[in-house]
Amino acid sequence: MMWVFIALAVIVVLIISVMLLKLIVIIDYYHNKDDDRLKITFKTFFGLIKYKINVPVIKIAEDSPEIVVKEKVETGPQEKDKKQDTKKFSAKDILQSIQDMDQFVKHVVGLHHIIRSFLNKVTMKNLEWRTTIGVSDAAFTGMITGAFWAVKGSLVGFLTSLMKVKTMPNLMITPEFNRTINETSFRCMFHFRIGHAIFAGIKLLKFWKGGKPHFKTKPLSILSGNKTKSV
């Protein structure tokens, strides 16, 4: 009987330890003409558990009106385990994803409150967003630069109102008056406790309303029990 209590105690300690662990999410994005690179890194357990997603190519397919995404996944502390994949997304796939999200929102009571409550526990730091913009026309470049500043300020202001901010965001827009260019680099780090994410997931299930929805895209079809063929 004593071993049963010891085993239960060990399990409880492990569960609590996992709940208290921080999950770090680092987002890196770069765009310049046809060069789009997206890297998302997940780290926890003091960096010993790491999962990295590299999307080095995002472009329009030449033989069909589809978006082509080449993805590379790296796992492990040394990022030695690698897997590559190429996916295509048509306009129909994107439309179905939007429709699925609409169904998801309608099936959760108080979704806005649940998300806001979770984001209040998320810490954001090291946000850097640099843009170089130019259209070979000085007056028009000045107008676009002002519009970009307004968009950046609104988006960053919205994020900082929802999350805890450790460091001041570093925003920069460089106008180029003599050439056409659109270059953007974005980097930001978020971290939160795994327990907070689990509790948010439990709340989503608790406040689910209505019957089983019929999701069409694979990530959300898991919730409805559908086995839709992936893209």
Tens-place pLDDT, residues 29-55: 998 877 778 899 999 887 788 888 887
Please list the residues that pair with 83 across neighbouring strands: 73
Dihedral of alpha carbons 151, 96, 35, 181, sign: negative
Q: Report the residue count for the chain.
A: 231
Tens-place pLDDT, residues 166-181: 889 999 999 998 888 8
If one compares 62 and 143, the residue with the highest pLDDT of the two is 143
| Radius of gyration for the chain, computed over Cα atoms and rounded to the nearest angstrom | 22
- Quote the pLDDT of residue 203: 87
Please list the residues that pair with 35 across neighbouring strands: 32
